[in-house]
Structure 1
Amino acid sequence: MITLFADASTNDYPGVVQNTAQKWSEIFVSSFQSAFGQIVSVLPNLLAMIAVLLVGYLIARIIGRIAAAISEKIGLQTAAERSGLVASMQQVGIKRSVPSIVGLMFFWLLMCVFLTAGFNILGWEGLSSGMETIIAYIPKLLVATVVVVIGLLIATFIRGVIATSADRAGIGYAQQLASGCYYVLSLMIFMAAFDQLEIKFELFNYAMLIAFSAVALGFGLSFGLGGREVVSGILAGYYLRQRIQAGDNVKIADMEGTVRDVGPVATIVETQENGLMHRHSVPNTRMLNEAIR
């Protein structure tokens, strides 16, 4: 019996091998046909996507160069240099010019549009939705860039006006005052740009509000407790310089001498008494009302 079983097993072995090989062959052919069918079905869409991206790349390059040329033509680079934006960019390692950055933004904006179209062709809705989010964000980035450039240009202009006006008024800290105003305006400009980009700094905003409130309160208190005299002295000094120059001889009540300097709130008058020279600090308000040339 054992011999017969062995013979039977030996006789069935080739058939088992043949059946196994046939099954593996069918599985391989079926998998290959399925994969090939999927490739064939996707191939037209893939070719269409490649064509869309190639055309989109050419269009994006052209539009990007046009945008850069227009930005250069309208003086965006000059405005950025005057506002100090270019110097700040160079400090952080950005070597590109502002017009080239604008052109690059337009290039990637259009490329994102064509990438979205390509993903839609392939039916990749998830990637397409992500690209649409990026496309919606890029215009905000452009607007924020324009806000920063124009805002810093205006802040620079205001700084110059404040420095010139304060210097003519005889304020000794004119440059510090102008720089302080510039930095405050710059901070407000960047906060507006961040708000355009939907970047929120709630805690920082509260801190800025508290700081501005404290400054306003301090200014109000100082003005109420004695600042009016300082302001009166500054205004009197402004009008006094139009009437009296250093070296003029003046008489104030019983004092007669030579004007040496018209300061922010007081005028230095030099007198001679008993052969000795003396310097007196006379408030500008008194000089304006009582001085006689």
Structure 2
Amino acid sequence: MDNAGNTVQNGFNSFLDYLPQLLLGIVLILVAWIVATLVAKAVSKGLKAIGIGKYFQKWGATNTEEQSHALIDTLSKVAYYLVWVLFLPGIFSTFGLDSIGQPIMNMIDTVLAFIPNIIAAGIVLVLGLFAAKLVKNLVYNVAVAANIDKHLAKLTGGETTDAEVKKNKGTLASVLANIVYFLIVIPIILVALEVLNINSIADPISSVLNTILSAIPNILVAVVLLIVGFAIAKFAGMILTDLLKSAGLNKYSSYLKKSSNMNLDLSKIAGQTVAVLIGLFFLVEALNALNLEMLNSILSVVIGYLPNVLFAAIIIGLGFVGGQMLSSAIKSTTGSMLAGMLIKYILIVFSIFMALDQLNFASAIVQAAFICIIGGLAVAFALSFGLGGREFAKKQLSRLDSKIDEEASKSNTKEID
């Protein structure tokens, strides 16, 4: 009995010894609940009092007033639980549960120690974005005042009417302003990440942003090359078109119109072809500036093949024009439409085969087909003349024999005289 009584007495004494800690823990829980509730209500009422809901809708965080109130309630709950988190280490420590309270305390210490970095990064980001927005608005207004869209329309040959310019006003200005904004924001983000001092997150992002920044000069050079190349190509094409028109090149298009009912502006075609070639050369240089080796290799191969295409087009054009000219000449001199048509299509076929050979398009097959066609025509002519033209040949030989005899008799008569 004495042992049992001693056990009860010891337990009661232990409870009495622990009772102050228990009461203190309960008091801390009540204080935490009261403080958390007050903070939550203060946050909710404070945000509603300053009209933060309108700003949420303005920033795009919410769409309606009900959603704004719901977001404010969520923020107040976050504040409520944050207060509880701050009280938890003390509560657990009061109950003697240091093994649970200590990790939470360490986490809170880490977060509190990191708050200055977050504040500094936030200040850098806010100030940087504010400055970037100011520069963006400045660039946009200057570009709009300079009417840069109309100048671009003139350069590209687009619509420059007042209605069209008004419709597209600010398009290019907005693009330029956004580009400038982007170029300013990237370094600001890099600085903010460095201020945060979270290497595991900042290093990969910084590496990507540095890569983008290092590529920006090349991109600008490529853009300048494309703009200058486009302007030069258009200018050269216009000059060449006017020169060829004044030289009378378009008069040869009448032969094509007669043969195929195509009304072609040869001067314009030549000018546009030259413009495209110049544009391609500048495009290759722009790709060189961007170090895009694969695309550059593809375009280099295409440009290397272009002379063959040009020569092939010239050969076919000369074949059509020359065939029509010879056809017209033969028709006017001999009056034979069949002979003119035959000569024209023979020249066209020759030009097509020569063009295919120039393009290196299955050269062996093209040559074999050409030889077969020529051989077939020769055999057909020989057979037709041999089988169907015997009477004609007999008459021609008889006429030739009679003419020879007549010439011989005339010479004998002169000798006798």
Q: TM-score range by the shorter chain?
A: 0.5 to 0.7
In structure 2, the partner of 1:180 is 342
In structure 2, the partner of 1:97 is 265
Supply the distance in 1 between the matched residues of 2:394 and 2:333 (Cα, whole angstroms).
Answer: 16
**CA apart distance, 1:27:** 2.8
Stretch moving more, 77-86 or 105-114 = 77-86
**CA apart distance, 1:68:** 1.7
State yes or no: 1:117 paired with 2:285.
yes
Matches within 5 A, 1:178-217: 178-200=340-362, 202-203=364-365, 205-217=367-379
Amino acid in structure 1 at the alignment position of 2:99: A
State yes or no: 1:143 paired with 2:305.
no
In structure 2, the partner of 1:247 is none
Match of 1:72 among 221, 245, 252: 245
* Structure with the larger helix share: 2
Supply the distance in 1 between the matched residues of 2:331 and 2:396 (Cα, whole angstroms).
Answer: 15
In structure 1, the partner of 2:227 is 54
In structure 2, the partner of 1:223 is 385
Report which of the two structures shows the higher radius of gyration computed on alpha carbons.
Answer: 2
Amino acid in structure 2 at the alignment position of 1:141: V
Unmatched 5+ stretches in structure 2 = 1-92, 115-195, 407-417
Amino acid in structure 2 at the alignment position of 1:11: Q
Stretch moving more, 190-199 or 225-234 = 225-234
**CA apart distance, 1:10:** 4.4
What are the Cα deviations for residues 171-224 of structure 1, in whole angstroms up to 9, with x where unaligned? xxx323322332222122122223223333754653443233122112123334
- CA 1:236 to 1:79, structure 2 compared with 1: closer, same or farther past 3 Å? farther
SS in structure 1 at match of 2:274 = helix
Supply the distance in 1 between the matched residues of 2:246 and 2:270 (Cα, whole angstroms).
Answer: 13
- CA 1:203 to 1:16, structure 2 compared with 1: closer, same or farther past 3 Å? farther
Stretch moving more, 24-33 or 181-190 = 24-33
Amino acid in structure 2 at the alignment position of 1:149: G
In structure 2, the partner of 1:252 is none
In structure 1, the partner of 2:331 is 163
Unmatched 5+ stretches in structure 1 = 91-95, 168-173, 238-284
Supply the distance in 2 between the matched residues of 1:87 and 1:236 (Cα, whole angstroms).
Answer: 44
- CA 1:11 to 1:69, structure 2 compared with 1: closer, same or farther past 3 Å? same
What are the Cα deviations for residues 144-187 of structure 1, in whole angstroms up to 9, with x where unaligned? 222222222221122233334543xxxxxx32332233222212
What are the Cα deviations for residues 48-90 of structure 1, in whole angstroms up to 9, with x where unaligned? 2222222111111111112222332333322132134884656
Q: Which has the higher contact order (CA 8 A, sep 6+)?
A: 1
Amino acid in structure 2 at the alignment position of 1:125: E
In structure 1, the partner of 2:99 is 8
- CA 1:236 to 1:35, structure 2 compared with 1: closer, same or farther past 3 Å? farther
Supply the distance in 2 between the matched residues of 1:215 and 1:127 (Cα, whole angstroms).
Answer: 47
Supply the distance in 2 between the matched residues of 1:182 and 1:50 (Cα, whole angstroms).
Answer: 49
> Does structure 1 conserve the Cα–Cα contact (< 8 Å) formed by 2:316 and 2:352?
yes
Amino acid in structure 2 at the alignment position of 1:50: V
> Does structure 2 conserve the Cα–Cα contact (< 8 Å) formed by 1:79 and 1:150?
no
> Does structure 2 conserve the Cα–Cα contact (< 8 Å) formed by 1:85 and 1:152?
no
Aligned residues: 226
**CA apart distance, 1:106:** 1.0
Supply the distance in 1 between the matched residues of 2:105 and 2:280 (Cα, whole angstroms).
Answer: 61
Supply the distance in 2 between the matched residues of 1:122 and 1:115 (Cα, whole angstroms).
Answer: 11
- CA 1:70 to 1:86, structure 2 compared with 1: closer, same or farther past 3 Å? farther
Amino acid in structure 1 at the alignment position of 2:275: F
* Structure with the larger strand share: 1
Amino acid in structure 2 at the alignment position of 1:26: N
> Does structure 1 conserve the Cα–Cα contact (< 8 Å) formed by 2:255 and 2:325?
no
> Does structure 2 conserve the Cα–Cα contact (< 8 Å) formed by 1:112 and 1:135?
yes
What are the Cα deviations for residues 89-145 of structure 1, in whole angstroms up to 9, with x where unaligned? 56xxxxx62222211111111111111111212222222222222222333333222
- CA 1:7 to 1:151, structure 2 compared with 1: closer, same or farther past 3 Å? same
- CA 1:15 to 1:86, structure 2 compared with 1: closer, same or farther past 3 Å? farther
> Does structure 1 conserve the Cα–Cα contact (< 8 Å) formed by 2:322 and 2:347?
no
